[in-house]
Structure 1
Amino acid sequence: MSGLHEAMSRLDEAWADADDAGDLSREQLITVVEAIGLLQRRLDSVHVDVAAGIARESRPELGAESLAKQRGFRTAAKLIAAATGISTGEAQRLVKVGEATAPRSDLIGSRLPARYPLIREALGSGALGAQAAALLIALLDRCRIAAGAERIAEAERLLVAAAEGLELDAVRKLVVRAEAWLDPDGVEPRADEQRARRSLRIFERGGMVHLHAQLDPETAAPVVTAIRGYVSAAFAARSDAPFPGAPDADRRTVAMVQADALSVFCAHVLGCRGDRVPLAGATVVVRVGLEDLQSGPGSATIDGLDQVVDIGAARRMAASGGVIPWVLGGASEILDWGREKRLFTRAQRLALAERDGGCAMCGLPPEMTRAHHIRWWQRDRGPTDLSNGILLCETCHHRIHDNDWEIVIEGSGVSGRPWFIPPRAVDPDRTPRLGGRARFDIAA
């Protein structure tokens, strides 16, 4: 406790001649913030010891005599969280740090050193805070079996020395590097596990499109490198502005520039005609009336998104080549190939996207579908024509062919309407179900 009192005294001295932070000089501000940091770390040392004590007095084998249960809490972490105003997860971390750094006893009651005595010492001196200690302890526990006791002891010494004075984010980086050193054979399996957890979720809420990505390092590397390079170039270009208040000065935040970078990169890829990126015919299609696009008010929609965009956005996209004109069959593009071609052309896919709006059965956006022959090319000698084509995602494609659904196209060209006729096992009456974009058409 003497260390805690010392830290409190230092803070009192720093504030001695000031009523509030506004009265402090720059030097005093630094002195105060350093004193606060030391006080927090010293307080953490006391806190983890107390947390370990509460956990010890609340262990399950005590039953009704458990301290936490007597106080009306299910666990020690719940009691600590309620008493200190922190989350249950944070309280549990305090307990784990306390248990890992508290002196132990053997079966006959003899005192044993803490599992991690150097971390305990660093906590007591204020060199480490509880959060940094928790990161180090979690690492050493993970690698304890793979590395062996001697290497873990060496790692504890090196990590405590390296972590002192580092902010928490830097400690996390330190832990990543140290884990590769402690358990080199575990790097590849961890990478495989991380890659298996990679994901990107896209959803719409509140008029905005949200992207939530979780990427393994290999997948993230080109993404992060490209976006950061774009941001660096954007900020470097700001120095070329005539003066800071110029009307065309770039005032975007870093987050805004990063969002713009992602859009620019994807737009560039969509414009490529090579086969290096497997986009399966993905194309940004903005639907807007020609008169509205040229001069009138109005709005537009974008394939694959539910939100309506303003006409100004549609015009900007048109100016950058982002709008596909739906004058289908023009520019010498043939939409019906009969038996001359097996695969649907890009123009035919765009026409099918206009008619089906994506997967004609479940509604997934066009870029997640493939153009399929209704009457199979090989088995049924079906032609590669719009009347024999339909956009389906892989799941719906298998569902239709495996379960004997039938597809009928009513009408012709992009104005046709696909109908799905279920098998009798699904609907004894085999009532046709309308599919494609027609499902969402609003009757005049």
Structure 2
Amino acid sequence: MAIAPFPIPASAGDAALAQLDAARESIAAVGAGLVAVSSEELDRLAASAAGVIAAAEAARAAIVLEASSRGVIAGSDHPRTKAWVEQTCRDAEVPVTSVMARQLQDIAQTCTGHDVAALREAVTAGRLPLESAAVVAKVYRRLREKIEHPHWDLLADILIDWAAEGARPSQLHSLEERMIGQYGTADALQEEHDRAHQNRRLTDFRTTRDGMRTATLKLDPASEATLTAALHALSKPQPGAGGEPDLRSSGQRRADALLSIAGFTTTARPDVPGTGAKARITITMTLADLLADLADCDQAGGVDGRGSDTAEGTDSRNSVRSGTRVRSRTRGYAAAGFGQTLTPTEAGMLACDAQIIPTVLGTNGEILDLGRAHRTITPGQSAALHQRDQGCTYPGCSIPPQWCDGHHIVYWALGGRTDMKHLALLCRHHHTVVHRHDHTATVHPIHGVLWTRRDGTPIGNGPRITLP
């Protein structure tokens, strides 16, 4: 009598593989039976199929994370997660894109360790799509380098919730900046924007095959806020004389707006909407941040130590020399009306020359006060500044007046007035320098605008001689 062989139990790996194979075969058969499905049932099937895809992505992410944590990937012929995923799929003749493999690598790099349990659980439970999980992983990895440890769990939960609700990658990156401004070190957001400003560029125009000219523009948030506000002011649909609708696309209107800006930089046209005044930008800050900044200014004595009500400005300059000036804090952020996140320094710089509408928020986000755009430099004052200053007033700079901003020597938000003895022309570079280093100035009737550092020492080898 033949003896039946002793059954060898299947390994856990064989059992899991059998489950996946059975699931794949079952799903593959769904398409063949759709002819018999009623039209009313297709929406439920589409949603169910999306759930299956999410579960499959979660299972694949869990397997890759397990292989990474055990050292399987590190000990393989392809020690990088992306290459390991691509190779295993090629061996099994399963298609995989390079983008998908890189997303799994981003997740594996971030979801290792006890302090990222929430993110790992959200990924392996299928709460986050693979693409969103990869973005969250990248953002969270950068945030951990700039924010102190006690806030990590809170930030991870916020990012996961946003991504699970369908936030786009651009929204997650915007949230990243605001988290840095709120929870980062004092100068973290400013340092981020300084690096971005160094990378700004506009390429030369090149000709495409269809004869069009194209260029690439990269801007830091503060610069993009200015350009976006200006384009928005000039790109609204303009109906025809008989009320005909504006048939231009939004892209065409923005292109025309950019050409209008280029054509009207030196002369204001009151008959063209959006010209004759600087662009309008809404800056939002919390009441706590606003009061903290003003408190710092009060410690300096007077209105921010940046000027005075007299032409000579002796009181202001003496207060600066006394060393009592306390630099304004740089922690926190301001939100521009077109979605940009700005540092307080950048918001202060833009406030000199744009129509800034300060929106002050309470602790629960309610609007407490909405300012009025009534303090911008008029066209007449701009012409007078061009005539008086003859260009950038910062010592050693020769930028012509057409490329300069009007700067409030005494910040308008802190009581400064928009009159000639409190205004000076600065090129964009030196405008940033003045705001960042808290330089101050006085307007002399003979010698023009005289700049001094925060400690009262004069800037430059000598004053610029200008005609009265």
Q: TM-score scaled by structure 2?
A: 0.43
Point out which structure has higher relative CO (alpha carbons under 8 A, 6+ apart): 2
> Bigger radius of gyration, 1 or 2?
1
